């Protein structure tokens, strides 16, 4: 990689064992429209996935893969998703012609000898075949065969398209395995909240892209002086099985963080800024004159001289210096916030699920579901407003149930049913909450400071888990009672607080209509319990309007 110029060594003094990799400029992000679920029946992929019939997919994509690696080095990557000795972990083998993928998989999974030792002579692994092909987006396909538990990917060398252990295996294929075998594979961070006595309570949270998932997982708590500290178990994916103690136990199947660099800085995520100063692979970031990585949001002002992500001399007329989806790939153990339990074979017991989205209006700062079924409804109706970086559109509301829309390997109606079934089977199910850090006031400004201050919301969630948090019932769920949220040391007006928790019946009416439309996509396959929850919410809101 260094020889052919795709990758460069960074400043050995300030960034030891760090590299910059530049991808092809037409291969810079996951490509949902080229991602397919190839179940034998189209209905089993559902209305939210692209579908190809398995035979057709093998023919079409097989033709592109045929001979694609000729003249290149083929890497065989045996890997474990999850801690090496955990019974919740799973094995995969990726075949690839990309050294960048091999290097990234070394960070993101437990790979090589450790995986061969676990695999032994077993044939129980998920095979993945990957070739960068000719990198032409017109010949790019990421196809999943859920019945065979098989992944093929051609035409991209980037991220979720190419590191097959991550989204392809740990979410799309694993979600199918989880449903078949009675466990959960979720697009969730896992964190531990330490309270003053030293006890740690674990929570898993699902947010769509651009909602600060990694920042929450690695948060430096604003209440550290009161004994509340956040520990990171994982920042993206959670695999959970019911433990002998009746709790849902979660592992992080990954070994590293593949995070978005732009917007990451000392103010937003000091832990990751410390982690990425060694053994880190940067992709599509800018390069300073002294060979250090840089991106928008790194610090307040760009250095005077830089090379942009495409390798050109940068000036501000050329747009951002780093690509908006530029990445760092860093071993998780390097984060100062990494939990001592992050590799516990038995996983960590989950006491709360947190769903969230980016909503300028509608959703309060935090609310708790009435029960599991209502919580599944909150997850199933989750939505977020797009940011420019993600789609080019600003402020368009996208439904993204449980943040799994692009990652569920089967019909999402069946996925909702699986959630409902799990609720019946878990003796001590997590409580379910919804948060929104992004509500805005009439002046368009954010009402809540976010980042480390979000620990105040986690503290209330913890108190609810422990049965002591004060709450007030509203039409949509429980919100913190007056004085329920710890606000000392934070300057926030009573008016802003009122707005943060407002449940506006008109906004919610719009929400009801939108969710109705979204649910209609699933036809008869949508579980009756979710229709009932929708009706109940409509009824509660109607009484609010007539009152
Ligand atoms: O653009 C990509 O290929 C990466 S997408 C990604 C990376 C890390 C964690 N989450 C995501 C995501 O899209 O959810
Ligand atoms: Mn993700």
> Has residue 74 got a pLDDT over 60?
yes
- Specify the pLDDT at position 447: 97
Where residue 546 falls among pLDDT bands split at 50, 70, 90?
low
Nearest CA to ligand 1 atom 10: 236
Q: pLDDT for 235-279, tens place per residue?
A: 999 999 999 999 999 999 999 999 999 999 999 999 999 999 999
158 in contact with ligand 1, CB cutoff 6 A: yes
- Please state the rounded mean pLDDT for residues 424-437: 98
Residue 547: pLDDT over 80: no
Residue 388: the pLDDT is 61
Phi, psi (5° rounding) for residue 403? 60, 25
Q: What does the pLDDT read at residue 94?
A: 98
Residue 65: closest CA among 136, 155, 146, 163: 155
Count Cα neighbours of 547 within 13 Å in the Cβ-side half-sphere. Answer: 8
Give me the percent of the chain exceeding a pLDDT of 70.
98
In what helix (H) or strand (E) does residue 494 lie, and over which residues does it extend?
Answer: helix 494-500
Beta-carbon neighbours within 5 Å of ion ligand 2: 236
Query: What is the predicted pLDDT for the residue at 386?
Result: 83
Q: What is the per-residue pLDDT for 391?
A: 46
What ligand has the least distance to the C-alpha of 101?
1
pLDDT of residue 209: 85
Q: Which residues contact 140 (CB under 8 A, 6 or more apart)?
A: 31, 34, 133, 154, 155, 156, 161
pLDDT of amino acid 395: 81
With cut-offs at 50, 70 and 90, classify the pLDDT of residue 392.
Answer: low
Mean pLDDT of 66-77: 97
Q: Say yes or no: CB of residue 328 within 6 Å of ligand 1.
A: no
Q: Cα separation of 328 and 10, whole Å?
A: 13
pLDDT in tens, 500-536: 999 999 999 999 999 999 999 999 999 999 999 999 9
Residue 389 pLDDT greater than 70, yes or no:
no
Is residue 325 within 6 Å of ligand 1 at its C-beta?
A: yes
Q: CB of 209 closer than 6 A to ligand 1?
A: yes
CA–CA separation, 315 and 305 (whole Å): 8
Burial (CB < 10 A; 0-12, 13-18, 19+), residue 246, is exposed
In terms of Cβ atoms closer than 10 Å to its own Cβ (0-12, 13-18, 19+), residue 520 is exposed
* Residue 418 buriedness (CB in 10 A; 0-12 / 13-18 / 19+): buried
| Other Cβ atoms within 10 Å of 397 Cβ, number | 18
Q: How many CA atoms lie within 13 A of 337 on its CB side?
A: 30
Asked if residue 335 has pLDDT above 70, the reply is yes
Catalytic residues: 211
Closest atom of ligand 1 to 28 CA is 1
Model pLDDT, residue 67: 97
Question: What is the overall mean pLDDT for the chain?
Answer: 96
How many helical (H) and strand (E) elements, i.e. helices and strands, does the chain have?
15, 29
Contact between 84 and 114 under an 8 Å Cβ cutoff? The reply is yes
Spacing, Cα 209 to ligand 1 middle (Å): 8
Q: What secondary structure does DSSP assign to 132-151, as a single string?
A: -TT--GGG-EEEEETTTTEE
pLDDT at 325 over 80: yes
Q: How far is CA 341 from the centre of its chain?
A: 20
> What is the CB-side half-sphere exposure of residue 485 using CA atoms within 13 A?
24
The whole-angstrom separation of Cα 23 and Cα 11 is 20
Write the DSSP symbol of residue 166.
I
Q: What is the pLDDT of residue 19?
A: 98
Name the residue with the closest Cα to ligand 1, atom 14: 209
User: What's residue 390's pLDDT?
Assistant: 41
Q: How confident is the model at residue 544 (pLDDT cuts 50, 70, 90)?
A: low
Q: Which of ligand 1's atoms lies nearest the C-alpha of 325? A: 1
Residue 294 parent element (H or E):
strand 293-294
* Contact 258 CB / ligand 1 (< 6 Å): yes
First CA to last CA distance, the chain: 68
CA distances from 428 to 244, 342, 351 (A): 11, 21, 8
Mean pLDDT value across residues 168-175? 98
Mutation test of ligand 1: which of 21, 30, 175 has the most ligand atoms closer than 8 Å to its C-beta? Answer: 30
* 175 Cα: distance to centroid of ligand 1 (angstroms): 17
pTM above 0.95, yes or no: yes
Q: Are 39 and 57 in contact (CB under 8 A)?
A: no
């Amino acid at each position: 990689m260094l020889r052919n110029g795709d990758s460069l060594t960074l400043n050995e003094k300030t960034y030891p064992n760090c590299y910059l990799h530049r991808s092809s400029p037409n291969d810079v992000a996951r490509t949902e429209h080229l991602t397919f679920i190839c179940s034998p029946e189209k209905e089993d992929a559902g209305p939210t996935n692209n579908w190809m019939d398995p035979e057709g997919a093998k023919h079409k994509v097989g033709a592109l893969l045929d001979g694609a690696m000729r003249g290149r080095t083929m890497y065989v990557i045996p890997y474990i998703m999850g801690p090496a000795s955990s019974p919740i972990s799973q094995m995969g083998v990726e075949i690839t012609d990309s050294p960048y993928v091999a290097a990234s998989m070394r960070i993101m999974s437990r790979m090589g000898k450790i995986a061969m030792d676990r695999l032994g002579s077993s044939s129980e692994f998920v095979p993945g075949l990957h070739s960068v092909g000719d990198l032409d987006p017109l010949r790019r396909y990421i196809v999943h065969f859920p019945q065979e538990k098989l992944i093929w990917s051609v035409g991209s060398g980037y991220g979720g398209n190419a590191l097959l252990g991550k989204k392809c295996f740990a979410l799309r294929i694993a979600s199918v395995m989880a449903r078949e075998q009675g466990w959960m594979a979720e697009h969730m961070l896992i964190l531990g909240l330490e309270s003053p006595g030293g006890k740690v309570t674990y929570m898993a949270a699902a947010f769509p892209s651009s909602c600060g998932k990694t920042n929450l997982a690695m948060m430096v708590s604003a209440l550290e002086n009161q004994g509340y500290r956040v520990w990171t178990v994982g920042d993206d994916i959670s695999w959970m099985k019911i433990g002998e103690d009746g709790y849902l136990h979660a592992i992080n199947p990954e070994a590293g963080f593949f995070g978005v660099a732009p917007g990451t800085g000392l103010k937003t995520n000091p832990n990751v800024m410390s982690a990425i100063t060694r053994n880190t692979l940067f992709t599509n970031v800018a390069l300073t004159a002294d060979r250090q990585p840089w991106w928008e949001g790194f610090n307040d002002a760009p250095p005077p001289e830089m090379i942009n992500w495409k390798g050109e001399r940068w000036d501000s007329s050329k747009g951002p210096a780093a690509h908006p989806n530029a990445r760092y790939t860093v071993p998780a153990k390097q984060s100062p916030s990494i939990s001592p339990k992050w590799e516990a074979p038995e996983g960590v017991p989950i006491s709360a699920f947190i769903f969230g989205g980016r909503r300028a209006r509608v959703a309060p700062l935090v609310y708790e579901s009435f029960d599991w079924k209502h919580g599944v409804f909150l997850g199933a109706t989750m939505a977020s407003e797009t940011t420019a970086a993600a789609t080019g559109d600003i402020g368009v509301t996208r439904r993204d149930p449980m943040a799994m829309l692009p990652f569920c390997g089967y019909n999402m109606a069946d996925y909702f049913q699986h959630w409902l079934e799990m609720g019946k089977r878990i003796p001590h199910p997590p409580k379910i909450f919804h948060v929104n850090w992004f509500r805005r006031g009439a002046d368009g400004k954010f009402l809540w400071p976010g980042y480390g201050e979000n620990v105040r919301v986690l503290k209330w969630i913890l108190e609810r888990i422990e049965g002591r948090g004060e709450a007030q019932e509203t039409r949509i769920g429980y919100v913190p009672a007056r004085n329920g949220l710890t606000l000392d040391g934070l300057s926030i007006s009573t008016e802003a607080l009122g707005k943060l928790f407002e449940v506006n019946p008109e906004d919610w009416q719009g929400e009801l209509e939108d969710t109705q439309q979204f649910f209609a996509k699933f036809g008869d396959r949508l579980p009756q319990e979710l229709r009932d929850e929708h009706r109940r919410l409509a009824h509660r809101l109607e009484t609010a309007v007539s009152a």
